[in-house]
Structure formats: structure tokens, C-alpha cells
Structure 1
Amino acid sequence: MADHRGARFNDAEDMSDDEALRVAIALSLGQDPFEPQTGGKSSATIDLTQDDEDDNGSRSKPDLESKPAAKDSKSSQTSKQASTASAQASSVSALFGLDRKKMEEERLARLKNKRPALSALESPSPTTARPQQRPKMSSSSYKKTTGPQTIADLLLPESDEDETASSQGSNSSPVTGRMVKAGKQQAKPSEAVQGKAATAAAATVDQSSTAGRKLSGSRPKTELPFPKGAVKKTWVRGQARKGDDITIEEVFQKDKLQLAVLSTFILDEAWLFDKLDLTKTKLILCRGAPNQGEQISNWLDRFPTVRKHLVPMNGSGCMHSKLQLLKYEDYLRIVVPSANLVSFDWGETGDMENILFIIDLPVLDDPDVTRELTPFGEELSYFLKAKQLDDGLIRSLKKYDWTETRRYGFVHSIAASHVDDKAWRTGYCGLGRTVKALGLGTTKTIEMDVVAASLGSIKDSLLKALYYACRGDSGVEELESRTVGKPKKGQQEAPDLGAAEVRKHTRVYFPSKHTVRTSIAKDAGTICFQKQWFEAPTFPREVLRDCVSTRPGMLMHNKMIFVRRTEESKDEPGKKVVSGFAYVGSANLSESAWGRLIKDRSTKKFKITCRNWECGVLVPDGTTTIASSSSPAAAEERDEGNGNGKGKEAMPTSTEDDPSWGVFEGHVPIPMRVPGSPLQLNGSKSPFFFGGF
């Protein structure tokens, strides 16, 4: 493990008094008290509950490096250093309090209260007092030979001759780049020692006041904006705000944001950094590797608070998830949007809308006490581990209260092939497993409405797999329904009755050419579908509906699944009870996003293969009671009776015409007009194809 000298010096609990004195004297003489560190992977970790700065943001500037003395003046310099050392030793003695009896008492007290040492980037929760410890010395007075070890080090300037290189052996190595000189003259050793003593005294006062707050319990709890979780539309310029939308500024709260872990498929770096304050906020930016890794440009090298993290792709596909972990002083915000980190996805160009899930988790009162994660938290941790994010960051999730996530489910797709137990945790298998775990499973008919900004080469097998998963199936039902082998010559393939039933109760919302051409944008570069896929005889064309936004002129980049189940009411004859849930996340309707389950012929093991990284949240939506004549099945029969079914055009309506959609009211905004007009092979009601053709 790399030898973090700053951590060794600051962690006085692990250093003897003589060693501390030796280090202080060596530093005051401009000498390196530790042996040089060789290259290798940085072991610094991120703790989501850490303080960004231990001394309220005030840190001493680094002393500029002294130039080596000429050979002919060595003797005089040695003499001066010897005399200076004697004077400085007394100053350092005052700083460290070299009263042997008192020091021994302090050492015994520390041993009694000692807990496992924190890593270089970790510190106790800001909501509780720090344990008593020896005042920390600034680590800026020695020359760094490795990358910055703490966020405070990252913010310190360094000389032009001391360019810090990021570790080549880590996917999450700090991007440090070249820094500028402090612009101040080098402080004299005695002044530096005096400054350290003042800092130590201030830290002692701060510790005392913090301890008092902990004992009295007088520190008020932060009022969380989203303690129960919510689903919001992204704000769009020019559209009226109705309380169901949110801006990127409201999501980030950059004045309070201490750490952001952001994932995105498309990135506008300049736009993103305008939304953050990188003098206050550490940023870990996740992109796909290796093909997309180069999209994180070298322009980032000038930002010492930014880390690149390249997510393993394990083959073709893309890192498409948009997960955000946002750390504030007293809580952790989890955001799962469909929006990339670009201006148009967050409504700033006034022509595109997205959707997101957001929840705030309070930090636990005692940072030493951790709780077991909820199923939501367990799956989120599993996803982060698969992304190979820092272990310390993942462990620190247990320092937050996850209670309010119990009603939700976190679902994901991990780009790789997964066998046996791992197969049931990701892709549509993971979706079905989560539906069942939340008590939402059923063997009865459901209505499934899918909103997608991109469509793949869809076949009935994918529709069935997704439909059965939304009923709580693990993936086996669709697998066992597949026909084995091809029909013999002269024989027709047996009709897939299951596919016909699924098509009847499934609608997929995608914009028509007319909807795109008459929108504010007039074009749709990030809405993708290929003509040859739609024209293929295996494509279930009848399920496609025109995606028309309830906000005039908007195009959608949403990825959503609405599921409704209707049953006879036991308490009110002649009425039906509708229950439902929604998926909100990054997954479009494609096999790359949701995977495909097989049973390996040689090993006889189940295996699912996903090509994309995706994630989303299942949001249960309660129940609503409707008249039997207003059920989804009855509405479908009315459409067919009026000649509006089976591919014939039906004008978009509102949810008022189908009260079963009321199950989502107050839980999940419905962004599109339902049920929507069926799309056609030709004409203005054909789908919008990539490139506008």
C-alpha cells in the first residue's frame, strides 16, 4: 500500500511523541522526514460522510521549495541550520506540548478511545464531534512526490517545477494537472511554525465546541427537500412550472455540494462545470471505457478536484446510466435521471424534456454506527462495485439512513455476461426479481406502457420478457416459451399465442415524423430508431404509439414503464381496483439495455448478457377505484369497436378518458398523451427514423 505521508503526519494517534518531534524539526529545516514514495495505485478513498476541510476551510498556503545551496556554502548553511534547529525545536515543543507527564496521560486517553484509523480522504461525520486527538499539522510544508492525498491538498497550489502526475494503475486516479504558484513569498520557518500553532489552537477550540454540540444535542437537523423520494420532470425553458419539475441547479445545489459522483453517456464539460463550484466540490466523473474514455478530454487536467473514472465495458455497448450521488453536510442525495449532462437534456434550449427520481438520505447521528442497507441500497452498492468505484465510497453508504428507500426498488443492467445467481440480479431478470420482492407480482393480465427515446431491433421475445418481468417473473417464463429449433421444410412455425396476448396489452411510445417536424426543435438527434428494424417482419409494429408530450412542442428523452393491474373490487360490486407502479431510469427498449437470458448448452447454467450499463428505480403507486366500464380492457374494446384499433389512427387523448391512469396521480408525472395514435409504415405517422429519413 502506498505510504501517504500527509496522512501519517496528520494522524498523530499513530505517531509517538519523539517521532512527531523528529518530523516537525525535519519539516522546519526543509528536509523530507519520510522516504520517497514510488509509483503505484493510490489508496486514498472517498467517504461520503467526510468533512471536506477539517479547519473550516482555512488552510495555510504551501511554502515554495527552497533551492539547494551551492557547494562552497555548505558549511555555513549547516552551521545556520544547526543554530536555527535549536530555536525551532523550542517552538515545536510548544506546538506539540512536550510535557512528558501530560503527553503520557493524553496517549493513554487516546488508546482508550481509539478507533480504526481513517484513510487520507476520510474524516468523521460533520454532524458529530471528532474524537480527541493531537492537533493536525499542515502537510503543505513538505514536497509532494505523489498526487494529492486529500481534497485540501487538491486545492493547494504548487510550483511549476512540481507537476503532479496521476497514477497510471488506477481507473479512478486523480486528475491533478499543472497548478500555478501561490503568488506569495516563502514564509520563514519560524512564521510557518507559528502559523501551525495558531491553526492547531483553532482546531482545538473547534473540537471543543463540536463536542459540546454533540453532548447537548442542540444541533438542529437539516430539513431534507426530498426525504420520501419523488419523481420529477426536468424544467424546460418557456414552459409553465406546475410543481412537478426541477432544474439542474435545484438538483445540484452547488453552494452546498461537497462531493458529486456523476455518470453520463453524453457530456458537455464546460456546461457541467458552470453548474458546479469546483473550489468547493469534489467531482468523480464516470464514463465508459475504453471506447468512450477518450471523450473525457484532457481539458479536465487543469481541474485538481476532478477524478476520471472509466467504467469497464466488457465488450461492445455503452455506459448509458446517469446515476448521481450528491453529498452534502448532513445528507446524501441520490438522483436517477434519464438526462445526460448536457444543456438540452435539462431544458435549457427549450425543446427537450426528461424525467428523474430523487431522494435525500439523512446521515446517521453516530458515524461509528452503521446500519444494514435496504434492498434498494444493496442493489445500488452492487451496481457501484461492478462499476469498480472506490471501496471506501461504497462502504460509507452505510453511514446514512436508508429507511425511506424500502418502498422503492433499484434495478440495473451491467454490461457483461452473468451466470447463475448473478443472472437474476441484472437486466430484465433483475427487474422481475425486484417487482416480486416489492410485492407487486401477479400472474394476471397487466397493461404495460413503455416510453423510450431509442428503439432497438425489437422482437416478441423482448416484449414478452419485459412484460413477464413486470408481473414478477425472473426471466424463466419467456425462456421456456421459446420454440426449440426451426420448423421443418414445408411446415409453418407455430403461432406464439403468448406474443399475441402481450402485444394486445402493450403500448410503446415513440414520436412520429409529424410530431418531430412540428415540435419546437424540428429535429431529434438523440432520438434513435432505424427504418430497417421497423420494416422487419418480426418487429411488433402494432404496439407503437405516437409519443406526444403534454407540454406543447416538447420532444422526450424519457425512459419510463407504466404498469397497471385491474381486479374486481371485493368491497364495492361493479367497480374495479387499479394498482400500479412505474419504472424511471435510463433504459430504452432494446436487448442491449435489458439483456437476453439463455441456458448454456454445455454448462446447463442460466446466463444473461447485457451490453449497456443502465439503472432505474421502481416506484409503487398505490391503488385507485374505478367503474368496471372504465377499465383498460373496456377502453381497448371501445377503441376496436370504434375502428380505432389495429393500426388505425386514434387521436391522442388525456388520462381523463381512462381513469385507471389515476393510480399514478401524486406519484409519477405522466408526460405523454395516452393512449396515443398508432404509428404506420408510411406517411407522416411513420416513426421518426435516425437521420430524419
Structure 2
Amino acid sequence: MSRSWSRYTQDGVPFSDLILPTTRSNAAGLTHAVITSYDIDYQWLSTILPTKNSAQPGRKALPGPELTFLTSEKTGLPIGTHAAGPPGWNFNVRKELRKEHSCPHIKLLLLFYPDRLRMGILTGNMIEYDWSTLENAAFLQDFPILPGERRDTSTDVYDQMSMVLSSMGLPRQHVAFQALARYDLTKGPTIVASIATDVPVKGWDKISKVGLGRLAVKSRDLMGGAVLGGGLELEAQGSSMGMYSQRWLQQFHLAASGAELSRCIPLPAAQGAATRRYGAEIGRPGKEWPPIKVVFPTRDFVLRESAPGPGNGHCHFGKPDAFHRWKHLCYQARGARLPGLLMHQKAILALKPGFTSSFSSTTASSSASSSSSFFGKGNTTGQTAPRTADVDVDADAGPSAIIGYTYLGSANFTMAAWGNLALPSQNNNERVHGSSSAPGEVGLTANNWELGVLLPFRRSDLSPEAELSSNARSAICWERPLRAYRSAGVAAEPAAAAGAGLGAGAGLGAGLGAGVGGEDGDVPWLSEENQHRPSTRPPRR
């Protein structure tokens, strides 16, 4: 797991390092690559990726790789495969879905070499800004080639990756698709993908392969069974905040805790009945809201404390008038490396009850390159939420015991990213749009293509040393313990009140109704249109 380099901290991994030993001037054996991202700056990538004209200084030109970019009709190209841009660049264009607001949000690198496959699952888009200014991360793994002419299509990683590539329009006969089975994927990560479809995914066997259904199955596998008796405690961080209903949050918590969804989903449409069902299933009778902390930057923080300043957040929020219904779940997003670093990373920390308050991060705010340390159970400071349940936290378990997991990937904590499980007849905010499902048949629908990994979080990951050795621990980029959003009438913290020389940003976030010390307290950042998004049209050859 690699944290992105930032010009504000001067540490982390530059994007160009993700493809080493391949460089712009030396393919280093790279034969093919498959690349997809929500935003792509092709001009910037052309300065990093090798082409068929690549040559080491003083040596003759070396053969370069074939690069395939997965994209859609929105680029203006017709459906099919087209050569464009530098030599060896190809664009595979898929048909656009009929549904509105579908989004190919996956950020993926597949690099094929004669002896290995490198898989890169990223949180940042393939644009310079995401890898120089914001907090992002990449999960990288190399897979060796199988001996002889062996092929293996039986692994879970192959099943997930082939499903994703097919759904994004890569033809089965494509050389990279064919090569995928030539590598030993048996020790691959636990992948969780969401697939956008025009009609709901129906049938529990199919639902279990994507989105919330996949999360429930793989959480149960990692934890050795469903974690009921209150469920796992979650911290969900991302660069977009969705429209949350209480019912969807309950549904997500059931899935994240590994509940058998075919037994307890769909929750009743009436919220009171849904709450009673949720409480009975998860073991939290009488609890209306699940133990989820939504980690998202406040408006005051972005305007007055963030390093890039207003207009640079890449963070989006739906309807500000609805936010106050779940404000009590919201916590301030501050980077562990540097408090003012805006986080484009998307991650979820899910731990057994009692462990979420077992470690904290300290940040040297006066230094651009800060360090983090975690402390043992009980050594916490700051404003933390009370524990939701006094349950067994496996005090006698050894250091290798799995006490939870971390999700890292492209999916924000939204219904569009993870999907929703519902009957066709359920309310408009959560219904299965465009459904032709039979009455009573549950369907899962998602608007986005997403891709991420679940990383087991062990008891030993609570120790300070784990920060450098544990993928699950390294993926937690936010400052802990978390600080809750201020309530109405509560004054801003001194740093926010003093400002950081960034200006007040007049007019930004208008309509949210809360300035510093405002009558509504803290409110989430509502960004304007992304000012740093480059053209996503393929370059001309």
C-alpha cells in the first residue's frame, strides 16, 4: 500500500514510481497495459508511460508496449477499439448505459510483463493534481507467471477482474484479457467491485458478487462469520458525501458486519419497521442509527485551513438541506500526515466494538512532513464518540487475530457507489430504477463502476510499528481520534477562527448557512464544479 506524494508533505510515492522499473524511456519488458480512470490527463500520462518509440539515452529504440484505455461513448469516439495518441495507444470504447448518472469511477492499472502481472488499484484519478496535491493511495501487487503454458481461471481474483473488464467493454479476445489467466492469482487480495447496470442485479448468487452483496460475503469470510451483537463499528472517509437515509445506513451496516443478507434484506419500507428489523438482526434493539462515523471535511476547514484552499477540494455534496438529519454521524476529515491536506482517498475502517477507540494518530501540525503514532487500548485523547456496546473485544486474542478490516479503493461512502438492495415497489429515493423485477424479488442496483480491496486488520495493527508494515493500517489516512462536527452555536476552533491566509471564499458554500461560529455549527463542504479536471477526450494521433 503506497501513499501518494504531496507537494505539501514532500513524502509519499510519486505516480511514476507505481510503474517502476518501467519508465518513460524504458518499457523494462512491459508488453501490454490496461488503464482506466474517471478522469485521465492523457498529456500528463504521455510524459510517464513508455511508447513504441521509447529509447534509453544513447541506445537504439526499444519495442514499446500496447496500452489500452477503457472509456465510453462520452469521449466522442464510436464503439469499438481505436488507435489514437502516441504509438501503441488504443482506446476501447463501450456503449453508454441508458440510466442517468452512471459513472465509471474505477481507477485501475494492469501492467503485463513476460514474468509477472502488476495490479494497481488506486484511489486517485490519473491526473497530475490528484498525485501532487491531494491525499491518495495505491494498492499494488505483483503476480508471477504460471509455469509452462498453464492457465488458471478458477481464482477469486480472476473472477472479479474478468467481471470488471467485461462490464467495461474489454473484448474477451483482447490480448490482455487472454493473458490474465497466465498469472498465479491465488494469493491475490480480497477484491470488492461494483458494476453499473441498466437493470438490477437479481438472484442472491449474482448479488453476492458485487457491491453490498460482495461486501457482506467477504466481511463474513474475513471475520470468520457475521459480527452481530452490535456489529462492527465503522469510520467511512471519502471525497463525496451521499444522500443518506437511515434505512440505507442500516442496510450498509448489516452488509459491512457480514450479515446474511438473503435472510434480513430488504428491510421494510416503513422506517420504524426497518429499525426494529435492523436492531433484531444486528443485535442492537432500540438503536435507530448504526455505529457509523462519516469522515468528511467541513466548510470552515476547506475555506480556512486546507492547504489547497477553496475550489480545490474535489469534494461534492448532494442536498445541503437534508444534511442535518445525519449531522450527528459526521466527523471532521483531517489528514494524519498534515491536518490541512485534503483527502481524495476513499477508505472504510471496520473494527469490532471497543477497538475503534484503541488507537490514535498524532500530527505535527507545524511540519509539512508529519509522523503518526498509534497507542495501545485506552490511551486516547480528544473528542471521541462513546462506545455503542459493551461487548467482548477478544481481550485474550493473540496479535494475529483479525479484529476487523480496512476497505481501500475508488468507492465513496454513497449509495451510487455501493448500490442499494430493494424491492421494485419501495420508495422513490431507494427504489430499483428502471426495474422489471418480479413482485417480491430483491434487486441490487448501483450507478457506478467501483473497485477496491478489503485488507484484514489484525490486533497487532494497533501497535505503532504497524504503520509501516501493515497495509490495513497504512490505508487509514485521517487523523484519529475523530472530532465530531460542532453543534449549533459552538464557536470554531482557534485555528479555524484565525484562518490560514486562504481568504473567506465569499459565496462558496452559500445556502449551507453556517460561517465560523455560525448558528448551524459545522456543515460539510459543498464544492463548486471541479476546477482542475482536464479534458478526457483521447488525443489525436
Task: Give me the TM-score of the superposition, normalised by structure 1.
Answer: 0.54
SS in 2 for 1:326: strand
1:291: Cα distance to partner?
A: 3.3
Residue 364 to residue 495, structure 1, CA distance change in 2 (3 Å): closer
- Give the 5 Å matches for 1:414-433: 414-416=195-197, 417-420=200-203, 421-433=205-217
Residue 327 to residue 533, structure 1, CA distance change in 2 (3 Å): same
Partner of 1:471: 257
Residue 311 to residue 422, structure 1, CA distance change in 2 (3 Å): farther
Residue 676 to residue 537, structure 1, CA distance change in 2 (3 Å): closer
- The answer as to 2:142 corresponding to 1:360 is yes
Distance 2:161 2:347 in 1: 19
Alignment deviations for residues 213-249 of structure 1 (CA, whole Å, 9 cap, x no partner): xxxxxxxxxxxxxxxxxx22111124243xxx32211
1:480: Cα distance to partner?
A: 3.6
Unaligned runs of at least 5 residues, structure 1: 1-230, 487-492, 627-654
Residue 465 to residue 292, structure 1, CA distance change in 2 (3 Å): farther
Between structure 1 and structure 2, the one with the greater Rg is 1
Partner of 1:328: 113
* Residue identity matched to 1:235: W
- The answer as to 2:78 corresponding to 1:246 is no
- Give the 5 Å matches for 1:209-358: 231-241=1-11, 245-253=12-20, 254=23, 255=26, 256=28, 257-279=30-52, 280-287=64-71, 289-293=72-76, 301-314=84-97, 315-316=99-100, 317-347=102-132, 351-358=133-140
Alignment deviations for residues 280-319 of structure 1 (CA, whole Å, 9 cap, x no partner): 12111112x33355699x9973434111122444222111
The partner residue of 1:676 within 482, 485, 489 is 482
1:356: Cα distance to partner?
A: 1.7
* Residue identity matched to 2:414: S
The partner residue of 2:296 within 502, 506, 510 is 510
Distance 2:246 2:194 in 1: 20
* Residue identity matched to 1:623: R
Alignment deviations for residues 136-184 of structure 1 (CA, whole Å, 9 cap, x no partner): xxxxxxxxxxxxxxxxxxxxxxxxxxxxxxxxxxxxxxxxxxxxxxxxx
SS in 1 for 2:178: helix
1:453: Cα distance to partner?
A: 0.2
1:477: Cα distance to partner?
A: 6.0
- Give the 5 Å matches for 1:504-543: 505-517=291-303, 518-525=305-312, 527-530=314-317, 533-536=319-322, 539-543=325-329
Instruction: Indicate if the aligned counterparts of 2:416 and 2:447 stay in contact, CA closer than 8 A.
Output: yes
- The answer as to 2:257 corresponding to 1:461 is no
- Give the 5 Å matches for 1:32-431: 231-241=1-11, 245-253=12-20, 254=23, 255=26, 256=28, 257-279=30-52, 280-287=64-71, 289-293=72-76, 301-314=84-97, 315-316=99-100, 317-347=102-132, 351-366=133-148, 368-392=149-173, 393-405=176-188, 408-416=189-197, 417-420=200-203, 421-431=205-215
Partner of 1:612: 448
Distance 1:299 1:285 in 2: 10
Distance 1:395 1:299 in 2: 19
Alignment deviations for residues 244-278 of structure 1 (CA, whole Å, 9 cap, x no partner): x3221111223223322111111111101111111
SS in 2 for 1:687: coil
Residue 373 to residue 439, structure 1, CA distance change in 2 (3 Å): farther
Instruction: Indicate if the aligned counterparts of 2:400 and 2:458 stay in contact, CA closer than 8 A.
Output: no
Partner of 1:596: 420
* Residue identity matched to 2:117: L
SS in 2 for 1:353: coil
Distance 1:455 1:263 in 2: 23
Instruction: Indicate if the aligned counterparts of 1:323 and 1:337 stay in contact, CA closer than 8 A.
Output: yes
Instruction: Indicate if the aligned counterparts of 1:457 and 1:539 stay in contact, CA closer than 8 A.
Output: no
SS in 2 for 1:385: helix
* Residue identity matched to 1:620: P
SS in 1 for 2:114: coil
Partner of 1:218: none
Distance 1:546 1:295 in 2: 44
* Residue identity matched to 1:321: I
* Residue identity matched to 2:152: R
Residue 452 to residue 507, structure 1, CA distance change in 2 (3 Å): same
Residue 585 to residue 570, structure 1, CA distance change in 2 (3 Å): closer
* Residue identity matched to 1:236: S
Residue 579 to residue 616, structure 1, CA distance change in 2 (3 Å): same
Distance 1:303 1:339 in 2: 23
Partner of 1:546: 332
* Residue identity matched to 1:546: Q
- Give the 5 Å matches for 1:625-664: none
Residue 320 to residue 478, structure 1, CA distance change in 2 (3 Å): farther
Residue 413 to residue 311, structure 1, CA distance change in 2 (3 Å): farther
Alignment deviations for residues 483-517 of structure 1 (CA, whole Å, 9 cap, x no partner): 35x9xxxxxx6683548747452111111123222
Instruction: Indicate if the aligned counterparts of 2:35 and 2:110 stay in contact, CA closer than 8 A.
Output: yes
1:379: Cα distance to partner?
A: 1.4
Residue 335 to residue 327, structure 1, CA distance change in 2 (3 Å): same
- The answer as to 2:527 corresponding to 1:690 is yes
Residue 600 to residue 334, structure 1, CA distance change in 2 (3 Å): same
Residue 313 to residue 604, structure 1, CA distance change in 2 (3 Å): farther
SS in 2 for 1:332: strand
Unaligned runs of at least 5 residues, structure 2: 53-63, 280-285, 354-390, 426-437, 489-513, 517-521, 530-541
Instruction: Indicate if the aligned counterparts of 2:33 and 2:67 stay in contact, CA closer than 8 A.
Output: yes
- The answer as to 2:421 corresponding to 1:585 is no
Distance 2:211 2:217 in 1: 10
Distance 1:332 1:505 in 2: 39
1:478: Cα distance to partner?
A: 6.1
Instruction: Indicate if the aligned counterparts of 2:82 and 2:91 stay in contact, CA closer than 8 A.
Output: no
1:526: Cα distance to partner?
A: 5.0
Residue-pair matches, total: 411
1:457: Cα distance to partner?
A: 1.2
Instruction: Indicate if the aligned counterparts of 2:352 and 2:393 stay in contact, CA closer than 8 A.
Output: no
Distance 1:522 1:625 in 2: 33
Moved over 6 A (4+): 575-578, 661-664
Alignment deviations for residues 6-38 of structure 1 (CA, whole Å, 9 cap, x no partner): xxxxxxxxxxxxxxxxxxxxxxxxxxxxxxxxx
Partner of 1:496: 275
SS in 2 for 1:458: coil
Distance 2:83 2:325 in 1: 43
* Residue identity matched to 2:525: F
Instruction: Indicate if the aligned counterparts of 2:192 and 2:210 stay in contact, CA closer than 8 A.
Output: yes
Q: Which has the higher contact order (CA 8 A, sep 6+)?
A: 2
1:327: Cα distance to partner?
A: 1.3
